[in-house]
Amino acid sequence: MTASDNEACNDKNCPRHGHLKIRGAVRTGVVVSTKAKKTAVVEIHYLRKVPKFERLEKRKSKIHAHVPDCIKVREGETVRIGECRKISKTKSHVVIKD
């Protein structure tokens, strides 16, 4: 992933160059898909406690995140995503950096 401050970014939904504010959770995950335009699907792994058995179980979730024009991501990269306002029907996170 590369982020360049010299590159012109005209995306209004960019947290660095636009007017989008990051609030809430900041998570780290692996990019699974970048097929949609300006969108990345990020898979996040976490542990959940099962009280009955006093054990932890592995779980994962896929989150759709907006990719600004100034950030380039590829499948398999580890990225950080931040929670923001709703950008579209399925996107409420934005890629902020590696």
**What pLDDT does 2 receive?**
55
Dmax over Cα atoms in the chain, in whole Å? 54
Residue-wise pLDDT tens digits, 16-63: 899 999 999 999 999 999 999 999 999 999 999 999 999 999 999 999
Instruction: With a cut of 80, say whether residue 1 has pLDDT above it.
Output: no
Provide the β-strand partners of residue 45. Answer: 60
Number of domains observed in the structure of the chain: 1
- Residues 50/57, Cβ–Cβ less than 8 Å: yes
Position 9 scores a pLDDT of 84
Domain carrying residue 69: 2-97
- The share of the chain scoring above pLDDT 90, in percent, equals 83
| pLDDT score of 62 | 98
CA–CA separation, 71 and 7 (whole Å): 10
Which residue, among 24, 56, 58, has the nearest Cα to 44 in the 3D structure? 58
- Residue 33: CATH number of its domain: 2.40.50.1000
Tokens of 79: 């990225």
Integer Cα distance of 64 and 56 in angstroms? 26
The model's pTM: 0.86
